[in-house]
Structure 1
Amino acid sequence: MKNISFIYKAFILLFLLVSFSSCEEIIDLPLKGADSPALIVEAEIVDKEGSSFVRLGETLDYYEPIEEPKASGAIISVTDQNGVKMDFLESDEAGLYLPQDSDYKGVIGNTYTLAIEYKGNSFTSESTIFPVTGIDSLQIRFVPESRFQDEGYYLYFYGKEPQDTKDYYFWRNYKNDTLNYEDVGDLVFATDQGIGENIDGLQFPFVYDAGDTVRLEMYSISEEAYNFYDDLTAVVFNDGGLFSPPPVNPRTNIEGTTTNVLGVFMTSSVVSATIYVPEE
């Protein structure tokens, strides 16, 4: 996952949509000047070794388009409620920051504070890791072509979701160890009410081939992270019609000495399961 910045790709698409939107549809993405570029933050603390990272980028200047700008040289740390601090150091990949301790992982129930110093500005965010429900089983089914989906093998998820708490979930699907992600439409997230207590065959929208190895990762996320993904999807798929609301920046859980920041700090517990598509 660390080598795929899907949030950055989403904001580039959002930037292009803004460029072609009508005059009634105003969004606050910076185009040029003192407030440009905006810092893009994609940060995750996960209760699995080797899965936590912070990725920083910057929005493109519409008037002077350049290759995807990485945000190098930042000072980043994550501290839990007990004062245990972990520094995140920039890796060989510009803009990607990894824990100084490669064995670092989050703990369910802990609250983490992200601190970023970049170009004279300070940014902070706080988020708690909530438990995630288990994956009871996975199933692969062949689905013939229809008006609504392509022919192929699809993944189905079975499990139970406790309804006594308000929970939010995020899924990642992998095909032969490659993340299924092309655009914002491939983001899969839901509330516990949306999936219900008995998850009886939740289908994911990705087509697999005979012989593929399929891995599903299920993450618990905060309400703030859910709101970010929900807003991001709504803005990108806003058709600009008469009854469509004017697009606005997705809500972020990151604050700073400047409001010129986009992205999300996500803390998660994760479970995963693997299944194989049978050979024909």
Structure 2
Amino acid sequence: MKTYIKSILLLFCLVLASCEDVIDVDVSEGKTRLVIEASLDWEKGTTGNQQTIKLSQSSPYFQTNGNNVVTGASVKVTNNNTNAEYVFTDENDGTYTISNFIPVINHSYTLEIIFNGETYIGTETLMSVPVINNITQSTEGGFDDEYLEVNIYYNDPANEENFYLTKYQEEGDLFPLLEDRSDEFVNGNEIYDFWEKSDDEDTNEKPFEAGDKISISLYGISERYYNYIRLLIEQYSSGGDPFSSTAAQIKGNCVNKTKVDNYPYGYFRVTEVVKTSYTFQ
């Protein structure tokens, strides 16, 4: 009887194994495009002279190896108010650096990249950012009064439109939390923001505890960049949600002046930023 049962189980396992088919997912490959990571961020209290721009090329979805960095490009940023030109040095690893950049609040800057005989242009204005007045922790301002959250406070300038990007990242996390904000309903007032982590088994997220350290960056951004990053955050946050809208391609502020259809990915950003950190007590 035992031999009979073993035979049945073996046959059942063979049937299941024979039903497994290899499914090849046919993912269409888009055109290879230039990817521009040009964030000229001027940290308060520094000269802002040291800046880096990264260039690469897009790659197929399933490609996990290979070198797609861009070398040999010409990279220049021009201050449109003063006509001062800043030529970046090719480091031959996909990065282009400069050590004499001069950031000026409310000045307009144009990025020019020449690569493979094509010219890419992007223009942005350097926006200011207020200082962070105070950083506290509590369990009262978040979504759950059992979990710790960090709270930041800063003053929004009156009688002008302002847009902000806040980046929070716990020490050891691979990815930061990004939050966009406008002063549409809080113009001229103190702005309050917070970050709270919940207990989520699906994402392995754990609530904050005493001793946890986080970095905080507050950026003053343009309205155009606010609209761009807002769409990116929405698409990222809705990943895996069956009721979310279909993700769409989001274009930045850089265009190809030589071949309009061969547009690049990425964005040319110029901001002032306040950086700090906080350790939970």
So what's the TM-score if we normalise by structure 2?
0.71
Q: Secondary structure at the match of 2:60?
A: coil
Identify which range, 201-210 or 215-224, moves more after superposition.
201-210
CA distance, structure 2, for counterparts of residue 191 and residue 130 of structure 1:
13
Tell me the matched-pair count: 239
Structure 1 residues 195-229: Cα deviation after superposition (integer angstroms, max 9, x where no partner): 66544641124554423444322111112211221
Matched, 1:159 2:154: yes
CA distance, structure 2, for counterparts of residue 68 and residue 41 of structure 1:
16
Asked if 2 retains the 8 angstrom alpha-carbon contact of 1:155 and 1:203, the reply is: yes
Asked if 2 retains the 8 angstrom alpha-carbon contact of 1:51 and 1:105, the reply is: no
Gaps of 5+ in 1: 1-18, 22-29
Structure 1 residues 117 and 172, CA gap change in structure 2 (3 angstroms):
same
Which residue among 194, 215, 235 is the counterpart of 1:203?
194
Which residue among 260, 275, 280 is the counterpart of 1:277?
280
What is the correspondence of 1:148-187 to structure 2 with a 5 Å cutoff? 153-176=148-171, 182=175, 186-187=177-178
What is the correspondence of 1:60-209 to structure 2 with a 5 Å cutoff? 60-62=59-61, 66-67=65-66, 69-81=68-80, 82-91=82-91, 94-99=93-98, 101=99, 103-141=100-138, 153-176=148-171, 182=175, 186-193=177-184, 197-199=188-190, 201-205=192-196, 208-209=208-209
Q: Which residue of 2 aligns with 1:261?
A: 264
Quick one: percent identity of the two aligned structures? Answer: 20
Structure 1 or 2, whichever has the larger Rg, is 2
CA distance, structure 2, for counterparts of residue 161 and residue 274 of structure 1:
21
CA distance, structure 2, for counterparts of residue 140 and residue 151 of structure 1:
13
Which amino acid in the other structure matches residue 272 of structure 1?
K
Q: Which residue of 2 aligns with 1:15?
A: none
CA displacement at 1:264 relative to structure 2: 0.8
Q: Which residue of 2 aligns with 1:31?
A: 29
Structure 1 residues 67 and 227, CA gap change in structure 2 (3 angstroms):
farther
Asked if 2 retains the 8 angstrom alpha-carbon contact of 1:76 and 1:88, the reply is: yes
Matched, 1:235 2:238: no
Asked if 2 retains the 8 angstrom alpha-carbon contact of 1:111 and 1:129, the reply is: yes
CA displacement at 1:108 relative to structure 2: 0.7
Cα RMSD (Å): 3.3
Matched, 1:57 2:56: yes
Gaps of 5+ in 2: 1-24, 198-206
Asked if 2 retains the 8 angstrom alpha-carbon contact of 1:60 and 1:66, the reply is: no
Asked if 1 retains the 8 angstrom alpha-carbon contact of 2:217 and 2:275, the reply is: yes
Q: Which residue of 1 aligns with 2:42?
A: 47
CA displacement at 1:60 relative to structure 2: 1.2
CA displacement at 1:57 relative to structure 2: 1.9
Q: Secondary structure at the match of 2:132?
A: coil
Structure 1 residues 163 and 267, CA gap change in structure 2 (3 angstroms):
same
CA distance, structure 1, for counterparts of residue 241 and residue 212 of structure 2:
39
Asked if 2 retains the 8 angstrom alpha-carbon contact of 1:88 and 1:97, the reply is: yes
CA distance, structure 1, for counterparts of residue 273 and residue 26 of structure 2:
38
So what's the TM-score if we normalise by structure 1?
0.71
Q: Secondary structure at the match of 2:69?
A: coil
